[in-house]
Structure 1
């Protein structure tokens, strides 16, 4: 149950959004259609900016939302867009729509595969399962190096990348991809006595990579991934609690000084922090953070919202509704 619960949590991480209400409920499909979709039905990154990027991340997140809310017809349309515009040679998913793009992004592929598998069960559509199996086989057969899964595969050069981002090693990643145990064990080799985790692991040099500036979304996801494996992170947990007790958790921090490098707050960070505390059994603190994030998100300007932030907020709301009917 713990693994299933955390899978739902990771799939439902939050983001920054201004609330938009229609008849007392947020009409997500209406907003997406009017502000994030071009005439061909493809999702662009920023509202009302049809020249912004079209990402597999966006279509995967929307598929995830649609299957979680059991909207079968809308889900089918997104699968059609996926097959027509993003899937290359029937096996690879381009991470963005751009002439000459020849790489995928494993985290986006895993999200899409997970949504297809879930939709196959909920909507009783075995075609989704077949597509999920085909995409999974493509990754497992090409996207490893030295026994580790890596972030991407370049099919023009038939060359996998040389690193794996640790925040990508989610429960869905481990459940979907075969023989992922070696990659999964990277999380258990981290030093739990230091506050911040490395961001990635180079599978060629077998060394962890640490950025001077850390992003809290990544750090919280890694902490959640570790919790999924039963691995506590006491130094990070204490530091995070101290930050919250002081009133603010910022989006970025200096790795060495442990001080913020940006003054912005993000609902994505607070949503993940709430899920983290929920996962480690501090429900009261999780609820306090959720309450604060709801106030914060009402103050944000919707014209600046990346689709990632918009849809993740609603994924979080759906998760909370299911946990608290």
Structure 2
């Protein structure tokens, strides 16, 4: 499958069932991605539902287009970005859904991901306009969310105030590296981000959840969400930092039970839930790919796709659908699709 990596013509790329599902069941008329397959509304402004769309989904879809080598899909999503609640590089964390309530905050992790995808696309296809857009996002982050030499979670555009904490799973150091390469952040900030990730403490093998800038303290959660842990592990692996304690726990847990649960107790390391998460497996696969742990990546993939509807005759073919609820979340389909494409590109899957 080397053709996929070396050409911008996506006709050579294998069409994956997950991509079909997303296009058929999770795409709005304006080409934004739905948060849920099932129509729903929420009275909570901090929750996205139904046809509302997330900057998270947009960034993952853009990364997938780059990974696939699909220039048309990427260009389509650049137009979606421009039509989104986007102002001088600031990107609302959710939009659409017929909800006119002002969304005043962004999300650092999503903005970094979108900038990363734009820089990668510019490098892949030689389009300077993508660099300009990525630089706008980088400038917004630098101007609004840089505090004490670090980055913080969000900027509230309405109240003109930034948060005073950093959720550690948000810290995408490879995106910050690209921002430094394109002279949007200085070397000091890039080094500080890398240093923070590199020197993260652990408690009983788990990373802290966040860092409070005011008190300069790390915050740990008793209930450990593996998605948060794996995002930290993945972002570290992307810039050459291993996470031996977390990785050993994941491999031991998978060897013992043949699966990974979604949440664990920080003290006992026992699962707190009975469910498995496609997003957990996806992030573990992407991390394994960075660490060149290809056998484990394949084992994780085989377990992940057990949750996918693989029968071509099914209406929901390719989706990670909870059939008891007849619903699914965009996150639980985009991340598995990205991980699967990565495995095909590197030759782990044939």
- TM-score bracket, shorter-length normalisation: 0.7 to 0.9
Partner of 1:155: 157
Match of 1:85 in 2: 84
Check the 8 A contact 1:38/1:50 in 2, yes or no.
no
**Hey, what does 2:62 align to over in structure 1?**
63
Q: Is 1:216 aligned to 2:226, yes or no? A: yes
Q: 1:225 to 1:40 in 2, by over 3 A?
A: closer
Answering whether residue 343 of structure 2 is matched by residue 301 of structure 1, we say no
Q: Which residue of 1 aligns with 2:115?
A: 113
Structure 1 residue 203: Cα displacement: 1.2
Q: Report how far residue 29 of structure 1 moved.
A: 5.2
Structure 1, unpaired ranges of 5+: 1-7, 9-23
- From the superposition, tell whether residues 204 and 306 of structure 1 become closer, same or farther in structure 2 (CA, over 3 Å): same
Could you tell me which runs of 5 or more consecutive residues in structure 2 were left unpaired when the two chains were aligned.
Answer: 6-13, 42-49, 180-184, 311-319
Q: Residue 128 of structure 2 is aligned with which of 126, 129, 135?
A: 126
Partner in structure 2 of residue 13 of structure 1: none
The equivalent residue for 2:31 is: 41
For the Cα contact (< 8 Å) 2:283–2:335, is it kept in 1?
no
What is the CA-CA distance between 1:163 and the residue it aligns to? 1.1
- SS of structure 2 residue aligned to 1:191: coil
1:191 equivalent in alignment to 2:211: no
Normalised TM-score (structure 1): 0.83
**Match among 217, 229, 234 for residue 207 of structure 1:** 217
Which structure would you say has the larger RCO, counting Cα contacts within 8 Å and 6 or more residues apart? Answer: 1
| Contact 1:200-1:208 within 8 A present in 2 as well | yes
2:145 is aligned, of 140, 143, 146, to 143
1:161-200 C-alpha deviation (Å, 9 max, x unpaired): 1111212223433313422322332223333573111011
Q: Which residue is 2:339 aligned to? A: 316
Cα separation, 2, equivalents of 1:48 and 1:85: 22
Cα-to-partner distance string for 1:219-253 (whole Å, 9 max, x where unaligned): 12223334455544443333323212211321101
Residue 257 of structure 1 pairs with residue 279 of structure 2: no
Q: Size of the alignment, in residue pairs? A: 302
CA contact (8 A) 2:286 2:342 kept: no
When the two chains are superposed, the root-mean-square deviation of aligned CA atoms in Å is: 2.6
Provide the residue aligned with 1:241 in structure 2: 251
Between the aligned partners of 1:125 and 1:148, the Cα distance in structure 2 is 30
TM-superposed deviation, 1:208: 0.4
Counterpart contact for 2:173–2:194, Cα < 8 Å: no
Q: Which deviates more, 202-211 or 111-120?
A: 111-120
- Any conservation in 2 of the 1:56–1:86 contact (CA below 8 Å)? no
Partner of 1:258, secondary structure, is coil
- Work out whether residues 121 and 130 of structure 2, in 8 Å CA contact, stay in contact via their aligned partners in 1: yes
Deviation at 1:149, TM superposition (A): 0.5
